């Protein structure tokens, strides 16, 4: 672990680790191909009564988005929270939106405290279930009212539950498709109708690594394939309005406490590591950087594209182990003729 810097950082009241140690331990663990991250994160580190907010940094220049307004769905947790942190760091005003108000409130309180006085950045939240058309309309209109317009939409909110396709009930299928495909469509349509049609803007959709199918999450694989195609259609339809739209496909498992908590087996996020050429999980920061790149002027000639951020995983073999079986016998004329004898 790196040496403690000369300026002493606050101590965690739960475990005596310094802020500096916590930050570096977290990074260190993330890069170890072991499944012990959960143990390390078993309590919130608190510094002088405050939950630790890790120091934000970015490969982009600090004022890059100082005149921009972004909406990040699912911006209170995991990948969405990291994207929000980086956008704030780059001077952006960010509206985060999802279903659970308590999580949104907590994130806003935490992240607001990180904004420096000289920055034009700002953050607020709105409750919005992206499956609900009226709530999506309200998200756009309230953001325009509060921040004066919208430049970026990051459709990050989404998810699924693991299940064999044979066991997925219609309600569960619909819940996943409505969340990931319909919800993304509603957000795109409303931001376009209410603002982008007249002012242009940039959209980034977060999808998944479903390029070789998404066994045990077939509902999500199908819904995200729909989003990938929607991305292509809209990039063509809306180019004349100054709208760019791309997708980012995180792969290999991106650890966050909330992502892991969604699964009965919390090591599921880590289980794909053996099949990631990079031999590690991705970080939320790596997803955020790719989103910021696609939002930025560095990507003004990129639209309708899907950026795979997966350490090469989508090129490697499928992560679903197929049990030994002989249920798909071969066809030969000999067998065919002998069956007719
Ligand atoms: C190698 C690993 C790679 C992993 C790659 C991807 C990782 C990630 O995406 S991490 C992100 C994880 N975060 C989330 O998924 C959060 C968002 N997800 C959800 O909110 C749910 O999964 C949802 C999309 C299904 C929505 O849930 P909810 O709002 O509760 O939906 P409804 O009440 O309308 O309907 C629920 C309906 O869905 C079925 N169902 C839900 N959960 C399960 C489950 N765990 N197992 C089986 N079935 C489930 C079920 O039919 C529900 O209806 P009822 O039976 O009437 O409750
Ligand atoms: N972690 C990973 O390995 C990977 C993640 N992804 C995708 O990245 C995105 C972010 O996931 P991640 O940060 O990892 O996990 P999280 O579970 O932390 O994030 C999911 C976010 O989506 C929000 N959300 C879910 N349903 C809705 C809804 N109906 N309306 C509004 N918001 C909703 C949740 O907020 P709330 O519950 O408050 O509504 C939550 O903030 C998801 O789309 C996920 O599927 C893709 C590939 C890999």
Cα 203 to Cα 306: distance, rounded to the nearest angstrom = 12
- Per-residue model confidence (pLDDT) at position 3: 37
> Which residue's CA is the closest to the ligand 2 atom numbered 15?
259
> Which residue's CA is the closest to the ligand 1 atom numbered 56?
171
> How far does residue 157's CA lie from ligand 2's centre (Å)?
4
Q: Return mean pLDDT, the chain.
A: 87
Which ligand minimizes its atom distance to the CA of 173? Answer: 1
pLDDT at 141 > cutoff 60:
yes
Beta strands in the chain, from DSSP E residues, in sequence order: 46-47, 50-51, 69-73, 93-98, 122-127, 152-155, 201-206, 243-250, 306-309
> How far does residue 175's CA lie from ligand 1's centre (Å)?
7
Pocket around ligand 2 at a 6 A CB cut-off: 73-74, 76-80, 98-100, 103, 128-131, 156-159, 179, 183, 206, 208, 250, 253-254, 256, 258-259, 262, 269
The mean pLDDT of 306-323, rounded to a whole number, is 92
Select from 74, 86, 96, 100 the residue to mutate for testing ligand 2; criterion: most ligand atoms less than 8 Å from CB: 74
User: pLDDT class for 317, splitting at 50, 70, 90?
Assistant: confident
Which ligand minimizes its atom distance to the CA of 281? Answer: 2
Q: Locate the domains of the chain by residue range.
A: 1-55, 60-315
pLDDT in tens, 285-313: 999 999 999 999 999 999 999 999 999 99
ipTM for this model: 0.98
For residues 181 and 46, the model is more confident at 181
- Per-residue model confidence (pLDDT) at position 53: 57
Could you tell me whether strands 50-51 and 46-47 are parallel, antiparallel, or unpaired per DSSP bridges? antiparallel
pLDDT at 314 > cutoff 90:
yes
The mean pLDDT of 188-200, rounded to a whole number, is 99
> How far does residue 176's CA lie from ligand 2's centre (Å)?
11
pLDDT in tens, 207-249: 999 999 999 999 999 999 999 999 999 999 999 999 999 999 9
pLDDT at 38 > cutoff 90:
no
Whether residue 308 contacts residue 316, with contact meaning beta carbons closer than 8 Å, is answered with no
Which ligand minimizes its atom distance to the CA of 255? Answer: 2
CATH for 60-315, options being 3.10.520.10, 3.40.50.150, 3.40.50.300, 3.40.50.720 = 3.40.50.720
Cα 68 to Cα 80: distance, rounded to the nearest angstrom = 17
Helices then strands, counting H and E runs in the chain, come out as 12, 9
Task: State the number of CA atoms in the 13 A half-sphere of 300 facing the CB.
Answer: 4
In the structure encoding, which two tokens stand for residue 313, read together? Answer: 């995983």
> How far does residue 319's CA lie from ligand 1's centre (Å)?
21
The mean pLDDT of 125-149, rounded to a whole number, is 98
User: pLDDT class for 75, splitting at 50, 70, 90?
Assistant: very high
- Per-residue model confidence (pLDDT) at position 25: 41
Across 28-37, 92-101, 145-154, 253-262, least confident range: 28-37
Q: How many residues does the chain have?
A: 341
Whether residue 135 contacts residue 71, with contact meaning beta carbons closer than 8 Å, is answered with no
> How far does residue 161's CA lie from ligand 2's centre (Å)?
11
pLDDT at 55 > cutoff 90:
no
User: pLDDT class for 52, splitting at 50, 70, 90?
Assistant: low
> Which residue's CA is the closest to the ligand 1 atom numbered 39?
172
């Amino acid at each position: 672990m790196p040496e403690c810097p000369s300026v002493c950082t606050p101590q965690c009241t739960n475990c005596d680790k310094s802020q500096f140690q916590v930050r570096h331990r977290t990074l260190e663990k993330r890069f170890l191909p072991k499944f012990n991250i959960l143990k390390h994160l078993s309590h919130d580190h608190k510094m002088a009564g405050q939950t630790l907010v890790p120091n934000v940094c970015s490969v982009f220049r600090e004022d890059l988005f100082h005149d921009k307004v972004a909406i990040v769905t699912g911006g209170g947790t995991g990948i969405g929270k990291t994207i929000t942190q980086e956008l704030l760091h780059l001077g952006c005003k960010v509206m985060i939106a999802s279903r659970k108000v308590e999580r949104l409130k907590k994130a806003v309180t935490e992240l607001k405290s990180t904004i420096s006085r000289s920055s034009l950045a700002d953050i607020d939240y709105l409750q919005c279930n992206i499956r609900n058309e009226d709530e999506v309309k309200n998200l756009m209109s309230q953001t325009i009212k509060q921040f004066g317009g919208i430049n970026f939409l990051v459709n990050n909110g989404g998810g699924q539950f693991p299940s064999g396709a044979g066991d997925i009930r219609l309600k569960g299928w619909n819940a996943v498709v409505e969340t990931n495909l319909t919800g993304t469509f509603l957000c795109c349509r409303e931001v376009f109708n209410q603002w982008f049609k007249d002012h242009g803007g940039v959209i980034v959709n977060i999808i998944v690594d479903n390029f070789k199918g998404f066994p045990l999450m077939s509902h999500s694989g199908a819904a995200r394939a729909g989003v990938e195609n929607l991305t292509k259609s809209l990039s063509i339809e809306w180019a004349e309005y100054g709208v760019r739209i791309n997708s980012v496909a995180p792969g290999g498992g991106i650890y966050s406490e909330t992502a892991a908590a969604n699964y009965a087996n919390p090591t599921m996020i880590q289980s794909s590591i053996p099949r990631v050429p990079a031999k590690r999980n991705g970080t939320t920061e790596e997803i955020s950087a790719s989103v910021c790149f696609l939002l930025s002027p560095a990507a003004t000639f990129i639209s309708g594209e899907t950026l795979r951020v997966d350490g090469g995983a989508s090129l490697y073999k499928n992560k679903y182990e197929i049990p030994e079986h002989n249920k798909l016998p071969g066809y030969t004329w000999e067998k065919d003729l002998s069956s007719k004898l």
